[in-house]
């Protein structure tokens, strides 16, 4: 699905690229100044290719790229600026630092636009900004993974770019360093007012850092929006699968004679809001977030039991610390329902493989695709 | 001691290095970074002097240098003199023979420069020429030095090709290696021994200096 409007085409980054092959692309997204847009999707989904196309390192066969009011690429107009003329800050996945240059000289290398005498002090300031005071004279080989990443970020920013491109910038460091660097990126954002594009396959990272996510698959931008929207309202089963969301089912949208709408799912009649565009008796895919599945207590009836109750068999129970992930299967479908509850609650309710349980599917959570 | 032969040898080695390094840089970089049709053929042609017997290579060079051959005739027309049995002739032959020694270490060095380092330089705003001089050249410096050392040392020691193309003309084409052979033929073992020792010393010192340079070359600043 493409975005319906591009609100900030003059200031931000606007990307529209199409090509049939060799790497298929059908991308359409924009990123406003100060916004952090995460491109997520599986490996080989075209994320890095898109980033390279924006940087001018890859030339697609169709479309255009505009940034800060300049046209960087326009296939129809025959425009394709080289990377040197695009003012981009690119942090490579493995940082691509110049191994024969010190941290400071690495940063200075991106300062062609700065008078020669000012380069050294400015580079030192950039390094201080990413907390590398005192390490200006170190060569990349003598820096830790996290420090290298910071040098790469400082070098990208020293170019005073119109857009910051981050290609899996946290994938080459350990978990603890990753958390710290992610926090630093969030802080760094306060200072810079340019579009930031983050390529990642880590959904948690994308959700935590980005204002919006853009789901890519085979070069196709399937859906973009805030993480919460994407996670609760994926537009298609494919997007749900790419976002690691499991509870996708097929049912039938129904309108009865009195005008009531509901969703027929096997033997169950589920209350749900139907989009106006869906015709009665139409076959639909629907999704429910795990957070909107409520377990019925065994002994005591609880509130909400009247809301879309369904009955299933526990086919899997995986305990991950304090959280238990429950998978239910049903007699009428091969699709299974997953949800999470506190492990102690699972124990108290006597949940175990093969047990019959009933749950409520909250109507507000049911999303018809 | 044939000082004149030593002079010819050193001159030949120096000119070969000077002329071959730009060629080696260009060809080595092209072969390392570009994909084109006939690349394998090109690499094979560069490596050919490594596997051909020097006398065979010398024989073909001698034939093509003759005034009856197109190349020799062209040279004669442009410069007014022939190539066989001249310093120019053995220099040209030396360039051909040393091509793999100059190109291959440089090609390997360029292959060792990750492509994204080059791309990072472009994204930093460095022009292709600045990328070459500030980033690539310092990174391939050890390969360049290896190429220099190999070419220099190999030219000092070259025998078969030089003999075929240049013969043994005093002060023109008689290199130290050929002079040593002449002395041995004349049963002057003492003379041959001194010259051999000098050749050994010169080769050793040259390579020592060159490898010292390679070490110093690391850590160049922008």
Whole-number Å distance between alpha carbons of B47 and B181 = 27
**pLDDT of amino acid B97:** 93
* Helix H or strand E encompassing A262: strand A261-265
For chain B, the residues whose C-beta falls within 8 A of a C-beta of chain A are 114, 116-117, 119-127, 130, 134-135, 138-139, 218-222
- CB-CB contact of B155 with B220 (8 Å): no
User: Could you tell me if A118 lies within 8 Å of chain B, comparing CB atoms?
Assistant: no
- Nearest CB among B125, B135, B218 relative to A98 is that of B135
| Interface touch A92/B135, C-beta < 8 Å | no
- CB-CB contact of B79 with B124 (8 Å): no
**pLDDT of amino acid A9:** 45
**pLDDT of amino acid A205:** 85
φ and ψ at A200, to 5 degrees?
A: -155, 155
Count contacts between A and B (CB, < 8 Å).
69
Residue A343, helix vs strand vs coil: helix
Query: Which domains are delineated in chain A?
Result: 13-87+161-242 (3.40.50.300), 248-287 (no CATH), 290-368 (2.40.50.100)
Burial level of A207, CB count in 10 A (0-12/13-18/19+)?
middle
Strand order from edge to edge, sheet including A261-265: A268-270, A261-265, A248-255, A283-287, A367-368
**pLDDT of amino acid B219:** 44
The 10 Å CB-count burial string (b at 16+, else e) for A18-34 is bbeeebebbbbbbbbbb
φ and ψ at A169, to 5 degrees?
A: -70, -10
Whole-number Å distance between alpha carbons of A266 and A161 = 55
Question: In a mutagenesis test of the A interface, which of B125, B135, B138, B217 is the best target, namely the one with the most A β-carbons within 10 Å?
Answer: B125
| Interface touch A90/B120, C-beta < 8 Å | yes
The residues that bridge with A40 in the sheet, in sequence order, are: A200, A215
- CB-CB contact of B57 with B49 (8 Å): yes
Whole-number Å distance between alpha carbons of A131 and A328 = 49
- Nearest CB among B117, B122, B127 relative to A98 is that of B117
Whole-number Å distance between alpha carbons of A348 and A350 = 5
Whole-number Å distance between alpha carbons of B56 and B160 = 9
Residue A208, helix vs strand vs coil: helix
DSSP codes of every residue in A22-68: SS-EEEEEEE-TT-EEEEE--TTSSHHHHHHHHHTSS--SEEEEEET
Token pair for residue B83? 């190539």
Residue-wise pLDDT tens for chain A (369 aa)?
Answer: 444 444 444 578 999 999 887 888 888 989 988 889 999 888 877 888 899 999 999 999 988 999 888 899 998 888 899 999 999 999 998 899 999 999 999 999 999 888 888 889 999 998 988 888 888 899 999 988 889 989 999 999 999 899 999 998 888 788 888 888 888 888 888 888 899 999 988 888 888 888 999 988 888 888 888 888 888 888 888 888 888 888 889 888 888 777 788 888 888 888 888 877 777 788 888 999 888 888 887 655 555 567 888 888 899 999 988 899 999 898 888 888 999 999 988 888 888 888 888 888 888 888 888
ipTM exceeding cut-off 0.90 for this assembly? no
CATH of segment(s) B3-216:
1.10.3720.10
Residue from A35, A40, A310, A3 nearest A195 by CA: A35
What is the Cα Rg of chain B in Å?
20
| Interface touch A100/B120, C-beta < 8 Å | no
Token pair for residue A52? 């390279």
At a CB cut-off of 8 Å and minimum separation 6, what does A253 contact?
A: A261, A263, A264, A274, A278, A279, A280, A281, A282, A284, A368
Question: In a mutagenesis test of the A interface, which of B109, B114, B120 is the best target, namely the one with the most A β-carbons within 10 Å?
Answer: B120
Whole-number Å distance between alpha carbons of A254 and A261 = 6
The 10 Å CB-count burial string (b at 16+, else e) for A83-120 is bbebbbbbbbbbbbbbbbbbbbbbbbbbbeebeeeebb
Would you kindly state where each structural domain of chain B is located, as residue ranges?
Answer: 3-216
| Interface touch B120/A97, C-beta < 8 Å | yes
User: Could you tell me if A172 lies within 8 Å of chain B, comparing CB atoms?
Assistant: no
How crowded is residue B114: how many other Cβ atoms within 10 Å of its Cβ?
14
Burial level of A247, CB count in 10 A (0-12/13-18/19+)?
buried
B146-192 per-position pLDDT tens digit: 899 889 988 988 888 998 888 888 888 899 999 999 999 999 999 99
**Over chain B, what HEC string results?**
CCHHHHHHHHHHHHHHHHHHHHHHHHHHHHHHHCCCCCHHHHHHHHHHHHHCCHHHHHHHHHHHHCCCCHHHHHHHHHHCCCCCCCHHHHHHHHHHHHHHHHHHHHHHHHHCCCHHHHHHHHHCCCCHHHHHHHHHHHHHHHHHHHHHHHHHHHHHHCCHHHHHHHCCCCCCCCCHHHHHHHHHHCCCHHHHHHHHHHHHHHHHHHHHHHHHHHHHCCCCCC
**pLDDT of amino acid A301:** 56
| Interface touch A98/B126, C-beta < 8 Å | no
**pLDDT of amino acid A10:** 56
Residue A260 to residues A254, A257, A269, A284, A369, Cα–Cα distance (Å): 8, 7, 12, 17, 19
Residue B23 to residues B31, B98, B152, Cα–Cα distance (Å): 12, 11, 15
- Nearest CB among B126, B127, B139 relative to A109 is that of B126
Nearest residue on chain B to A107, judged by CA atoms?
Answer: B124
| Interface touch B116/A139, C-beta < 8 Å | no
- Work out the average pLDDT over B87-108: 93
């Amino acid at each position: 699905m493409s975005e319906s409007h591009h609100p900030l085409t003059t200031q931000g980054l606007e990307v529209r690229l199409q090509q049939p092959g060799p790497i298929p692309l059908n991308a359409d997204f924009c990123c406003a100044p100060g916004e952090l847009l995460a491109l997520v999707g599986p490996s080989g989904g075209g994320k890095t290719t898109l980033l390279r196309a924006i940087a001018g390192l890859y030339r697609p066969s169709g479309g255009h790229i505009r940034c800060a009011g300049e046209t960087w690429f326009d296939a129809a107009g025959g425009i394709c600026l080289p990377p040197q003329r695009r003012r981009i800050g690119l942090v490579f996945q493995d940082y691509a630092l110049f191994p024969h240059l010190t941290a400071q000289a690495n940063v200075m290398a991106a300062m062609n636009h700065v008078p020669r005498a000012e380069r050294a002090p400015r580079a030192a300031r950039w390094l201080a900004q990413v907390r590398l005071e005192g390490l200006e004279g170190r060569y990349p080989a003598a820096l830790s993974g996290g420090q290298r990443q910071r040098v790469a970020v400082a070098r990208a920013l020293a170019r005073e770019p119109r857009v910051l491109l981050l290609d899996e910038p946290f994938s080459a460091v350990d978990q603890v360093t990753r958390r710290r660097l992610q926090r630093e990126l969030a802080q760094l954002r306060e200072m810079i007012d340019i579009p930031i594009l983050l390529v990642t396959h880590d959904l948690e990272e994308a959700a935590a850092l980005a204002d919006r996510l853009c789901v890519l698959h085979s070069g196709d931008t399937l859906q973009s929006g805030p993480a919460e929207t994407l996670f609760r309202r994926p537009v298609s089963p494919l997007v749900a699968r790419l976002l690691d969301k499991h509870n996708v089912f097929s049912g039938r949208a129904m309108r009865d004679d009195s005008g009531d709408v509901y969703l027929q799912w096997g033997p169950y009649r589920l209350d749900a809001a139907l989009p106006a565009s869906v015709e009665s008796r139409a076959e639909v895919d629907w999704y429910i977030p795990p957070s909107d599945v409520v377990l019925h207590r065994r002994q005591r009836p609880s509130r909400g039991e009247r809301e879309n109750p369904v009955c299933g068999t526990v086919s899997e129970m995986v305990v991950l610390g304090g959280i238990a992930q429950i998978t239910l299967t049903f007699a009428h479908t091969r699709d299974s329902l997953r949800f999470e509850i506190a492990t102690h609650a699972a124990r108290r309710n006597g949940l175990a493989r093969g047990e019959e349980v009933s749950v409520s599917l909250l109507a507000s959570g049911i999303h018809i695709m | 001691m044939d000082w004149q032969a030593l002079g010819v040898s050193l001159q030949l080695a120096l000119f070969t290095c000077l002329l071959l390094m730009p060629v080696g840089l260009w060809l080595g970089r092209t072969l390392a970074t570009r994909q084109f049709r006939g690349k394998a053929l090109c690499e094979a042609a560069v490596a050919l002097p490594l596997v051909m017997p020097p006398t065979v290579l010398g024989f073909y060079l001698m034939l093509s240098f003759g005034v009856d051959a197109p190349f020799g005739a062209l040279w004669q027309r442009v410069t007014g003199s022939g190539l066989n049995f001249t310093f120019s002739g053995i220099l040209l032959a030396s360039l051909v023979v040393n091509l793999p020694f100059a190109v291959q270490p440089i090609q390997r060095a360029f292959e060792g420069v990750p492509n994204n380092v080059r791309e990072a330089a472009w994204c930093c705003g460095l022009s292709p020429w600045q990328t070459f001089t500030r980033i690539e050249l310092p990174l391939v410096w050890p390969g360049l030095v290896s190429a220099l050392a190999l070419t220099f040392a190999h030219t000092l020691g070259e025998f078969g090709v030089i003999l075929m193309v240049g013969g043994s003309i005093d002060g023109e084409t008689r290199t130290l290696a050929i002079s040593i052979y002449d002395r041995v033929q004349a049963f002057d073992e003492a003379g041959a021994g001194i010259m051999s020792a000098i050749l050994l010393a010169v080769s050793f010192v040259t390579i020592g200096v060159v490898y010292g340079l390679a070490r110093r070359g690391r850590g160049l600043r922008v």
